[in-house]
Structure 1
Amino acid sequence: MRKPVLQFQDVSFSYDGKKTILDGFHLNVYDREFITIIGASGSGKSTLFRLITGLEKEEHGAIWLNGEQVKNRHGRTGYMPQQDLLMPWRTVLENAAVPLELAGVGKKEAASRILPLLNEFGLNGSEHKYPSELSGGMRQRVSFLRSVLTGSNILLLDEPFSALDAITRLSMQEWLLDQWEKREKTILFITHDVNEALFLSDRILVFQETPVQTLQEVIVPLDRPRSLRDLNDPAVVRLKDGLIDQLRSGGNKI
């Protein structure tokens, strides 16, 4: 039986009691899944993440993390935003250490945990560099390392590659899958790129018109490990075309 690590049970949420985003919403996410969330701008994707992280509070219902109904969810998940939010006055090592500092870990111990990870994150030899000295892909690797160092088994990635050039973005997608398989995390990933969603995901969840009660679920028909060439499979091409048509038409089911 699959183990649920994130559950929304009958959750409702609105902004200032006016714009209702979720209305009796249900969602189950299971251990070590890679879930991608797509939908039109303003449909509620980032609101979902804000509820998971505790930046917003549900009005009704319950949110469960790892089988526990959690009221204070701050720091219980790893979060990687669209912008890397690295502090320009801090080095790679110092930026990566932020979640450990917040947990009360001393500088020496933090460094001893981070330095062995730099090589597999493609950052070896960069520990004393500042963000301005890094490429876009390297900055995102630091941001992802920081989210991993929270220690959470649930990572939330909000369009983390959208600002990268096309080639770097493809490389980062492949690298992210390697890291996900190695670290055995559960990842929820927001994107507007249907190709990216199909390449990365076990399931794609589609936000449709608000208020939302459930998300449409699309199972990606690809085995793992997979390569970018697998996106040329006729079944995947048909699925891609259907998803794009659906997003363009405002949420009609494929």
Structure 2
Amino acid sequence: MSKASLQFENVSFSYENGHEEKEILNTLSFDVQNGEFVSIIGPSGSGKSTIFKLITGLNQPANGEIFINETNYSNRLGKVGYMPQQDLLMPWRTIIENAALPLEIQGMKKREAYDKVRELLVEFGLNGVEHKYPSELSGGMKQRISFLRTVLSGSNVLLLDEPFSSLDAITRLSMQEWLLTQWQKLKLSILFITHDVDEALFLSDRIFVFTESPVRKFVEVNVPLERPREIRDIHTPAVIEVKEQLIEQLRMGSTQ
């Protein structure tokens, strides 16, 4: 039986808004299993990014428990890998220096860190760019480096917050295909935020649809696709039916 890489158990969270509190999550529970790819979709302000902040330890729940690989850490900082919308590569550091940053933070010596990065650059199809600067790379290449840096956090749990939203359509599709290849090779557990229904269907095992505020529960959709899969597979009748259901759920949520 598969174990959970990530669990929320009755988690509640509120932001202070002046003299009032705005409740974002109310006794929310869910899990992500080992090696599973789960996407969250929902309107802006529905609590998606709040969940990431809670998982990374930037925020703490008012109530409930968060488990990473079945452990409830008092300090979750550094326990998961996080990839934001923007690549956040440091423009004054070369690619190898950027990619090695999480290893240096962990205390690894520079030479050892650079050797490890070089090995992965080859695996990630990025060999030959280690001495370039971010400004010399395309958007897709920079996101590959950002993903590599996230992997080097050492965690099997990765949080990806709309990482391809700024890319053009062709590059975005290429990156989606590349991400699936890396995910399957590395056997990672991924929680992925997106506003793109097609992207969620193509990438995910399950999709969580956030429509209510505060979030107490959500609609959970199993993607009816086997793996490996190709982008054309999302145009099959079964997936089109699920897509229509997802869009209807989002429309209902936006009118509440």
Do Structure 1 and Structure 2 share a fold, with TM-score over 0.5?
A: yes
Contact kept? 1:122, 1:138, Cα under 8 Å: no
* Separation in 1, partners of 2:123, 2:190: 19
Unaligned runs of 5+ in 2: none
Matched, 1:228 2:231: yes
CA deviation map 1:143-199 (0-9, x unaligned) = 000000011000000000000000000000000000000000000000000000000
Deviation at 1:142, TM superposition (A): 0.4
Give the aligned partner of residue 165 of structure 1.
Answer: 168
State yes or no: 1:217 paired with 2:220: yes
In the alignment, structure 1 residue 181 sits paired with structure 2 residue 184 = yes
* Runs of 4+ with deviation above 2 angstroms: none
In structure 2, what is the equivalent of residue 249 of structure 1? 252
Query: Is the 1:43–1:207 contact (alpha carbons within 8 Å) kept by the matching residues of 2?
Result: yes
Partner residue, 1:27: 30
User: Counterparts of 1:120 and 1:167 in 2: how far apart (Å)?
Assistant: 22
* From 119, 122, 130, the counterpart of 1:119: 122
Partner of 2:4: 4
Deviation at 1:251, TM superposition (A): 6.1
Shift of 1:10: 1.1
| Matched letter for residue 84 of structure 1 | D
**Normalised by the size of structure 2, how large is the TM-score?**
0.96
CA contact (8 A) 2:212 2:218 kept: no
Distance 1:205 1:248 in 2: 15
Deviation at residue 215 of structure 1 after TM alignment? 2.3
Match of 1:199 in 2: 202
1:237 to 226, 240, 247: 240
Please report how far the alpha carbon of residue 239 of structure 1 lies from its aligned counterpart in structure 2 after TM superposition. 1.1
Aligned pair 1:90/2:100, yes or no? no
Identity of aligned residues (%): 64
TM-score (norm 1): 0.97
Partner Cα distance (2:223, 2:95) in 1: 36
User: What is the root-mean-square deviation of aligned Cα atoms in Å?
Assistant: 1.1
Which of 135, 156, 168 aligns to 1:132? It is 135
CA distance in 2, matches of 1:229, 1:36: 19
SS of the equivalent of 1:151 reads coil
Aligned residues: 252
More divergent stretch after superposition (19-28 vs 159-168): 19-28
